[in-house]
A = this chain, B = another copy of it.
């Protein structure tokens, strides 16, 4: 698309894009650091993630603010309007993704205090997967690439499957040894949080598709993981 006759309008729209890209980068590195802190039992790194979330909150407010001014002062229509609305929605998903990464970090601090009983490799893999989806989603946003966004949108199932198997695994650990219960309970939430960051990235991908094409992706997305329906029974039945 060509430039606006009024150059300031382009600058303001670009500033929205830049904030979104910054938020995406921040959410991505928060998740990476939180998973790192978890696997390395590094409470200090985890604490950094917790405080780092403030920056993301602040960026979201800035996006809200720029978007409101753009709407009030520039009366955007068509693709410009969709860009402003996409920024509003995406920033709120990224802010929540950051919130969830922060919560992972908080729990990493608690888990680091318990004896290291459970293998974390599944969670770390899931984290890496979601981290990659954040990156690709932001690339798709910056490039206005609906096809790439559709790839991100379709790639949520792998995360959901990982999560459901992790849920099962963690419950098994809890049944093996009551001392695992506190750390594994927190790990249940860690896994759920990462899965939900994945959901937010799916939303982001959806908004990018709407931004570029003017309509949402069509086929019904297989959205929810199955962990809510998962039952695990203790090995040694007492009855």
Main secondary structure of the interface of A (DSSP, over half): helix
Contacts of A88 in B (CB 8 A): 85, 88-89
Q: Once the chains are docked, how many angstroms separate the CA of A31 from the CA of B92?
A: 23
Given A75-B75, A228-B110, the answer on whether A171 and B179 have CB atoms closer than 8 Å is: no
A232 at the interface (CB under 8 A from B): yes
Which residues of A (60-86) have their CB < 8 Å from a CB of B?
61, 64, 67-68, 71-72, 75-78, 81-82, 85
- A and B contact pairs by CB, cutoff 8 A, 19 listed: A71-B71, A71-B81, A75-B75, A88-B89, A89-B92, A103-B228, A106-B228, A106-B229, A110-B228, A110-B229, A167-B185, A171-B181, A175-B181, A179-B233, A179-B234, A179-B238, A181-B232, A182-B233, A186-B228
Task: Report if A114 contacts B (CB, 8 A).
Answer: yes
A75: B residues at CB distance < 8 A:
75
Chain B contacts of A218 at CB under 8 A? none
How often does this chain occur in the complex, in copies? 2
Contacts of A220-236 to chain B: CB distance below 8 A? 224, 228-234, 236
Given A88-B88, A106-B229, A182-B233; 5 other pairs, CB 8 A cutoff: A68-B81, A106-B224, A178-B178, A179-B233, A189-B228
